[in-house]
Amino acid sequence: ALRLDRMINDLLDLSRLEARQLKLMRQPVDLASLVHVSVERIAGEAPDRSFELRVPPSLPFIDIDADRIVQVIDNLLSNAIKYGTPDTPIEIEILQRDLDIVVAVINQGPGIAPEDLPHLFQRFHRVGKDHNSHIKGIGLGLYIVQQLVEAHGGRVQAESAPGGKTTFRFTLPRAGELAIRENATA
């Protein structure tokens, strides 16, 4: 029932995103606390996995839709659990870089083949369908992640080495920076 509910919500979000009808409810948010709560909740659902959270001191608040960024974080953490090696920790790192806050989710596992990297954020694309057929999903999670991050004025990217670490990294503008960027492009 939970899996079906997640699929239905993904399809509804896909429809709203593509129709440009998804409204973000932005407010200043303590991203470190938001990530910490997400990690604690996901860790409770995956008690056999370990998580390492690295957050710099005095991280500024950022203007985001907290529910949508939780959706992004949950998706990335869920993928790290599904595709990562169970006996290695999932790392979550938050950094301040220039005008952005960067969130990275890193796991050790089989990795993503270089030819699959350019297609990761496409609708209905699933990496390694042949050897990952036991992993459930319809291939919308990363597409929705990309759309939600871009709706916030950020970017998302993935880096991976077969048999090594896989890193999904997304950026979000600091509070006030999005307005400055939008005015500069107007």
- The whole-number pLDDT of residue 118 equals 85
Q: Which residue has the higher pLDDT, 1 or 36?
A: 36
Residue 10: CA atoms inside 13 Å, Cβ hemisphere, count?
21
Say whether pLDDT at 138 is over 60.
no
Q: What is the CB-side half-sphere exposure of residue 170 using CA atoms within 13 A?
A: 26
pLDDT at 10 over 70: no
Neighbours of 17 (CB within 10 A): 17
Q: Which of 124, 127, 101, 102 is nearest to 114 (CA)?
A: 127
Chain segment 43-53, per-residue pLDDT in tens = 988 899 999 99
In this predicted structure, the answer to whether residue 186 has a pLDDT above a threshold of 90 is: no
Is the separation of the CB atoms in 33 and 73 below 8 Å? no
Report pLDDT for 16: 66
Query: Residue 22: what pLDDT?
Result: 74
SS3 138: coil
Find the mean pLDDT for residues 138-158: 89
Residue 122 has pLDDT above 90, yes or no: no
User: For the whole prediction, is pTM greater than 0.75?
Assistant: yes
Percent of the chain predicted with pLDDT > 90 = 48
Report how far Cα 122 is from the mean position of its chain's Cα atoms: 14
Determine the pLDDT at residue 123. Answer: 75
For residue 180, the Cα-to-chain-centroid distance in whole angstroms is 24
Q: How confident is the model at residue 113 (pLDDT cuts 50, 70, 90)?
A: confident
Residue 109: DSSP 8-state:
S
Bridge partners (DSSP) listed for residue 154: none
Task: Give the contacts of 169 (CB within 8 A, at least 6 positions apart).
Answer: 102, 103, 104, 105, 156, 157, 158, 159
